[in-house]
A and B are shown apart, each in its own frame.
Chain A
Amino acid sequence: VKLRSFRLHRPEAVGDAVDLVARFGDDAKVIAGGQSLLPLLALRLTHFNDLVDINLVDSLSGVDLDDNDLVIGAMTRQADAESSAQVERSLPLISRALKHVGHFQIRNRGTVGGSLAHADPSSELPAVALALEASMEIVGPKGLRRVPADGFFVDRWTTTLGSDEILASVRLPVRGGRRGFAIREVARRNGDFAMAGAVCAVTVADGRVDRAAVSLFGVDRTPLLRPQVAAELTGRPVHDLTRPDFDELGVLAAADLDPPDDVHATGTYRRAVSALLIGDALQSAVEEAASA
């Protein structure tokens, strides 16, 4: 065996799961799909005395449309969200982004909430949550609280989730009108960690960009929103926008990035490729919205 010993708790109710994490605090870790946690345990990069396995908590799984919000339970397998007709209809960006998450064998086990709570800087779903103005629904000893995605990701692998709390679901507003979405990333192979990636969501009204959101992943300690680019794009007539305009916005969005160097890519490369990915994602999203 590769893993250090731990106790495994398998509650079937959310309340019991919360009681367990609240009781053990920092000594405990929630395990959902385990596709990030088990490698860390196997490599002995981390250890917890108590694992609280939420796989048996049925109420944390599933996709629902609630009052124009798409609500995805934290334990929903990535593969199930990816193939969900409801997700595809409501927010196709999520279906598209999920295809980039690991390999299909990983997505069969990995969960939507696990990816968000793990908060790897190079993962897709946190950036998608930012661009779609999602909120995290968190249960703890005092009940349910909602945290906007913008306030959820604090650092690499670090969120505002308390050690006595569990991410229960993610709530994503579904906007009407003419919408366009795009995600672009550069990775060595499909399913590998992205070296850089961009997400874009826009709506178009009366021939102009009505709303825009751009977020990046793989380029900093957390996913990043690029509000200045969104503001720059908002109000522009879509038919006047050409490739050079999108490229310019991409350069603007990437200008102040200071991505890390590692064995996969230099920071300089990551910044340069980010500009291109942003330009590409913006163009694709705007064109999709314009022709919707």
Chain B
Amino acid sequence: VPDDMEAVPVVIEVNGRMIRSRVEPRLTLADWLREECLLTGTHLGCEHGVCGACTVLLDGRAVRSCLILCAQADGASVTTVEGLAPGPAQLSPVQQAFMECHGLQCGFCTPGFVISVTAFLAENPAPTEVEIAEALSGNLCRCTGYQGIFQAVRKAAETLRDRQIVPENS
């Protein structure tokens, strides 16, 4: 093991706030978010890219935060599940749909699902059933049997489509 393991400086925008930090090269973005930023909404299941619980938005794209080094996120913008709601005591359309459709039971996988679905619907606001299944295939849920999650995606898509009719600044 190299003995000159220098911590590296990073500046990362997390949920709209610029955070400066010094990190060990081996620290993953997921561990940094949880342990340094205390944003424990990003969950760690498998820690090797299979379960999807740690999914976050990196520069707007859904990625596994356990498969990115924190040092590699230097200069990037990260959105975690804590950053999705428009304000305190409010939910994003995807979060609201998960709640209403029982898209969760124990909730462990939920942050990853919510982030993945948020990114997916931003690109594809009118998905087919097959497209929904494919979009959900990168996240594992051991409780729900996925039916509630499917329903939540349909519902969220509907909400987002309805909203798009209203002009942005009205």
Contact = CB atoms under 8 A, between A and B. Distances in A.
Interface of A: 1-8, 10, 34-35, 38-39, 41-43, 49-51, 53, 55, 79, 102-106, 108-109, 189-191
B68 A34 contact: yes
Closest 6 CB pairs of A and B: A103-B138, A8-B25, A39-B48, A3-B26, A108-B61, A38-B67
B108 interface: no
Given A2-B47, A191-B137, A106 B64 contact: yes
A244 to B, nearest CB: 30
Interface in B54-106: 55, 58, 61-64, 66-69, 71-72
Which of B8, B31, B134 is packed against the most chain A CB atoms within 10 Å? B134
Contact of A103 (B28, B58, B137): B137
Contacts of A35: 49, 64, 67
B98 to A, nearest CB: 18
A106 B139 CA distance: 11
Nearest to A110: B67
B8 A104 contact: no
B52 interface: yes
Given A42-B47, A53-B72, A191-B138, A1 B4 contact: no
A103 B135 CA distance: 8
B26 A5 contact: yes
A6 B48 CA distance: 18
A104 B62 CA distance: 8
25 contacts: A1-B26, A3-B26, A4-B1, A6-B2, A10-B71, A34-B68, A34-B69, A35-B64, A38-B48, A38-B68, A39-B67, A49-B1, A53-B69, A53-B71, A104-B119, A104-B120, A104-B135, A105-B52, A105-B55, A106-B49, A108-B62, A109-B61, A109-B63, A109-B67, A190-B134
Interface in B27-62: 27-28, 31, 47-49, 52, 55, 58, 61-62
A40 to B, nearest CB: 8
Nearest to A102: B138
Contacts of A7: 2, 4-6, 25
A172 B88 CA distance: 52
A35 to B, nearest CB: 6
Contacts of B4: 7
B144 to A, nearest CB: 16
Contacts of A2: 28, 47
Interface string B116-138: 10011000000000000111011
A42 B27 contact: no
Contact of A106 (B8, B24, B138): B138
Given A38-B66, A39-B48, A104-B138, A3 B28 contact: yes
A8 B8 contact: yes
Contacts of B137: 103, 189-191
B25 A51 contact: yes
A8 B69 contact: yes
Contacts of A109: 58, 61, 63-64, 67-68
Given A105-B52, A189-B137, A1 B31 contact: yes
